[in-house]
Structure formats: C-alpha cells, structure tokens
C-alpha cells in the first residue's frame, strides 16, 4: 500500500514558527510532525510513501533520505512549480498503483487507516474522503452526503449561508489512481475545487467516511498549542518516546533535574536538558532537547523547542518558544505568545496575548510590557 503526503504550502499562518522550518518539519512533542506521521503510516501497513514537496526538499532529504532509517521506502519529489493538491499527486502518478492514500500534511489525526481502506473497498469507491465534524466549516471543505454516504456536494471554504452540515473534508483520501486521468498534467489543479466537483458531475462513486477519530489542522498557532495539550492529556492515541520517570513525566535520553524542581505531569523533557533549582513545571508542557532552565523558572502549558536558555525566574504559560532563544530573568511569556528562533530578550519583559516575535529579535531589559 502506498501513500502520498502533500507537504507544499508556506505555512504562513504559523509564522514565525515556520520562518526557518517548513510546516511539516516543526516539532510535535520533540519530533518533526511529518516523522510522527510517517511512523503512523508505517505502523498501519503503508510502507512506501511519496512526499510531494514544493520547496526546501533538501530539508526533507537531509532528515529522512530514502526512508531506511524509518524502515520504509520514501520518495521525495519536488514540483517544478506549485501544482496544487491534485496536480501534486498527478506529478507523482508514475509511482502509484492500486488504491492509494493521500494526506494533507498538516493534519493531526489518529484515524484508523485500515478501516478506511476496507470501507473504500467495500463500497467499490473511486474516491473516499475522510470526514470530521467541526464547529465552523468556513475554513474547510464542506462535504454533503446522501444517506448511503455517497458525496452529494463538495464546497471548499463555504460561505456561512451555504453551510448545510458540520462535516468537512478531513484531508485524508483513498483514491483509485485511475481518477487522475481527469487531472490535467503539468498544471495547477486542486482536488477541492477541481477533481472532486468533476467526479461528482461524471458520476464516479465517491464516498464520505465519517468517524469520531481525533482530528485537528495544526496550521494555526492556537491549534498547534491545542494539539500538544491534547496529546499530553491523552485525547489522542500517541506513543510517548523516552522513559517515564514519574507520573506522566517522560524524559527522552538524559536530563539533569534539580531535586527541588517540582513537576506535575503531563510533561515531556528532551535529551540533554537541565532544569534548575526551584523550577515549577506544570503540564501539559513540552521542553525540547538541550534547554537550560535557571532557578525558579515556572512553566505551564508551555511548548519549548530545542536549545533555549531561560534565566532565573522566567515564566512561560500557554505559549510557544522556537529554538535557540535566550530569555532574560523574570521575563513573562503568557496567553499564546509565539516566539520564533534565535531571539535574545533581556530581563523583565512581558509578552502576552498572542504576540508574535520574529526570529532574531533582540530586546533589552524591560523593553516590552505588552
Ligand atoms: N505539494 C503540494 N503542492 N502540496 C500542496 C500544494 C501544492 O501546490 N498546495 C497545498 N498543498 C498541501 C499543503 O501543504 C497542505 O498539507 C495540504 O496540501 C492542504 O493545503 P492547505 O493550504 O493546508 O489547505 P487548507 O487547510 O486551507 O484546506 C484543506 O485542508 C482542509 C482540512 O485541513 C482542504 O483540503 C480542505 O478541504 C480541508 O477541509
Ligand atoms: Mg491546512
């Protein structure tokens, strides 16, 4: 069984986290998101995967090569120019045979792929679209189905007045590659606005597969935070790496934790991290590898990437810190603050309420009290 993962797109909405890192490579609990996804596919019997990338192919090649490290076969194919979701699959058609899974590369789900494939076969479907309920379908592809689940209407980014169901395209498809004959070659073409409406017109069997599996699009800062929290509190099936050293406290590799530090799980701590005296780490929190947390640092609902230095008395709550930052003493990051990479903040700054700081920003002492 083969799969194509669509990993184009600039990840604009996730900036500044995606300024230096393509969206699929941003860490999810200290592991590139796409790596988690590849392992999930492998473990569900999909051992050959095509990554359809648009840019930064080198980053993916460097991380995964031909896939042998992950014990799978990987093809990394860069498009000459953005081909759109269906055009990207058309571009790798020569690598496909038989029913194939297609994944949007920015969706976190624990969907049962074997069950979805069985459903596709049972229905003798040509295209099966996983569906998930959401509160506000306007940001997604709305999918209306008949009583037997056959797709009746597909409406990408519907207007409020066009909303007739809360079921949307969850960004996982099983397709019979023969439907790619409707996709014009060497052109920008979308599943959502092109192929799906065409298939409906032609009348080929296309079904919606609706489940209650965990599902989130990780493409926005708040959902990036939410997904971490959901994984850590156990809302989604997830195998933690590392060793559990206390109730829901996992350490990946070696970490040095001062005996006076207080920890309330769920917390994940990366390899080589040092946690100082009097620190308070309250879950759900993820601390990347190679971080140094000074005396009395306080974290709650924090997501830290690698190699951050937090000086004495820093507080981080419900916020994300990219890689290689130095945060001066008694600085506060709270309420959805998103900090890029390589920043240096002086002491006693306050960054709150969804503030976003671009990579390389330097702030003196008390420079921001938002
Ligand atoms: N290779 C390649 N080339 N990949 C692409 C291209 C392209 O030209 N354009 C988009 N992608 C990838 C993106 O990287 C992403 O993984 C996926 O295709 C979907 O694109 P998004 O830009 O994230 O679309 P969206 O989130 O607005 O909407 C899509 O996903 C929703 C579910 O999250 C649609 O498929 C909606 O119908 C769906 O509900
Ligand atoms: Mg998306």
CA of 270 to the centre of ligand 1 (A): 31
Kindly tell me the burial class for residue 245, based on how many C-beta atoms sit within 10 Å of its own C-beta (0-12, 13-18, 19 or more): middle
Superfamily of domain 2-218, CATH level 4: Spore Coat Polysaccharide Biosynthesis Protein SpsA; Chain A (3.90.550.10)
The ligand placed nearest to the CA atom of residue 141 is: 1
What integer pLDDT is reported at residue 220 of this predicted model?
84
Predicted local distance difference test score (pLDDT) of residue 5: 97
**How far is the C-alpha of 14 from the C-alpha of 277, rounded, in Å?**
34
Q: How far is the CA of 283 from the centre of ligand 1 (A)?
A: 31
Calculate how far, in angstroms, residue 296's C-alpha sits from the geometric centre of ligand 1.
Answer: 42
> Distance, CA 239 to ligand 1 centroid (Å)?
26
Q: What is the pLDDT of residue 56?
A: 79
Domain ranges in the chain? 2-218, 243-363
pLDDT of 2 reads 97
How close are the terminal C-alpha atoms of the chain, in Å? 52
Residue of 101, 171, 188 to test ligand 1 pocket, by largest number of atoms within 8 Å of CB: 171
pLDDT of the chain, 370 residues: tens digit per residue: 999 999 987 778 889 999 888 888 999 999 999 999 999 999 999 999 999 998 778 889 999 999 999 999 999 999 999 999 999 999 999 999 999 999 999 999 999 999 999 999 999 999 999 999 999 999 999 999 999 999 999 999 999 999 999 999 999 999 999 999 999 999 999 999 999 999 999 999 999 999 999 999 888 888 899 999 999 999 988 889 999 999 999 999 999 999 999 999 899 999 999 999 999 999 999 999 999 999 999 999 999 999 999 999 999 999 999 999 999 999 999 999 999 999 999 999 999 988 999 999 999 999 987 6
Q: Hey, do 2-218 and 243-363 end up sharing a CATH topology, with the first three levels equal?
A: no
What is the distance between the alpha carbons of residues 210 and 166, in angstroms, rounded to a whole number? Answer: 11
**Distance between CA 80 and CA 99 in Å, rounded?**
26
Pocket test for ligand 1, best of 104, 167, 193 (most atoms within 8 A of CB): 104
Per-residue confidence (pLDDT) for residue 11, from 0 to 100: 79
Ligand 1 binding pocket mutation candidate from 5, 8, 175 (most atoms within 8 A of CB): 8
Ligand 1 atom closest to Cα of 191?
Answer: 35
Ligand lying nearest the CA atom of residue 168 = 1
243-363: CATH topology is UDP N-Acetylglucosamine Acyltransferase; domain 1 (2.160.10)
Q: What is the DSSP letter of 184?
A: P
Say how many Å lie between the CA of residue 306 and the centre of ligand 1.
28
Residue/partner pairs of 282-286 with CB below 8 Å, 24 or more apart: 283/232, 283/233, 283/248, 283/249, 284/228, 284/229, 284/231, 284/232, 284/233, 285/232, 286/29, 286/30, 286/228, 286/232
Taking CA atoms only, the protein residue closest to ligand 1 atom 11 is 8
pLDDT at 219: 83
Q: What is the model's pLDDT at position 306?
A: 98
- Ligand 1: distance of its center to the CA of 191 in Å? 9
d(CA 53, CA 144): 30
- Give the per-residue pLDDT at 317: 97
Taking the whole predicted model, whether its pTM rises above 0.85 is answered as yes
Q: How many CB atoms lie within 10 A of CB 243?
A: 12
Ligand 1 pocket, Cβ-based, cut-off 6 angstroms: 6-9, 52-54, 79, 82-85, 88, 104-107, 140-141, 156, 168-169, 171, 192, 217, 219
């Amino acid at each position: 069984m083969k799969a194509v993962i669509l990993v184009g797109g600039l990840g604009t909405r996730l900036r500044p986290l995606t300024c230096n890192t393509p969206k699929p490579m941003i860490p999810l609990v200290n592991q590139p998101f796409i790596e988690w996804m590849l392992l999930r596919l492998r473990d569900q019997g999909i051992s050959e995967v095509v990554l359809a990338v648009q840019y930064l192919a080198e980053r993916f090649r460097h991380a995964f090569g031909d896939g042998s490290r992950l014990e799978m076969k990987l093809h990394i194919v860069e498009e000459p120019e953005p081909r759109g979701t269906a055009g990207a699959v058309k571009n790798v058609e020569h690598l496909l045979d038989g029913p194939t899974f297609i994944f949007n590369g920015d969706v976190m789900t624990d969907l049962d792929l074997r069950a979805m494939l069985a459903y596709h076969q049972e229905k003798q479907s040509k295209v099966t679209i996983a569906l998930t309920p959401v509160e506000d379908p306007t940001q997604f592809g709305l999918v209306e189905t008949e009583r037997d689940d056959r797709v009746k209407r597909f409406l990408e980014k519907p207007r409020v007045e066009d909303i007739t169901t809360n079921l949307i395209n969850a960004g996982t498809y099983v397709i019979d590659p023969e439907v790619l004959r409707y996709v014009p070659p060497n052109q920008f073409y979308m599943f959502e606005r092109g192929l799906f409406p065409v298939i409906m017109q032609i009348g080929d069997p296309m079904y919606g597969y609706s489940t209650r599996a965990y599902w989130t699009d990780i493409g926005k800062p708040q959902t990036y935070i939410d997904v971490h929290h959901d994984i850590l509190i156990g809302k989604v099936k997830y195998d933690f790496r590392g060793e559990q050293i206390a109730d829901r406290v996992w350490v990946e590799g070696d970490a040095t934790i001062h005996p006076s530090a207080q920890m309330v799980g769920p917390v994940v701590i990366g390899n080589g991290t040092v946690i100082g005296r009097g620190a308070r780490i309250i879950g759900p929190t993820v601390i990347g590898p190679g971080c140094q947390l000074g005396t009395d640092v306080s974290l709650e609902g924090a997501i830290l990437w690698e190699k951050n230095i937090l000086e004495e008395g820093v507080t981080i709550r419900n916020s994300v810190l990219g890689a290689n930052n130095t945060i001066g003493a008694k600085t506060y990051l709270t309420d959805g603050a998103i900090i890029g990479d390589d920043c240096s903040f002086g002491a006693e700054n306050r960054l709150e309420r969804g503030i976003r700081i671009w990579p390389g920003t330097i702030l003196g002492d008390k420079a921001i009290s938002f």
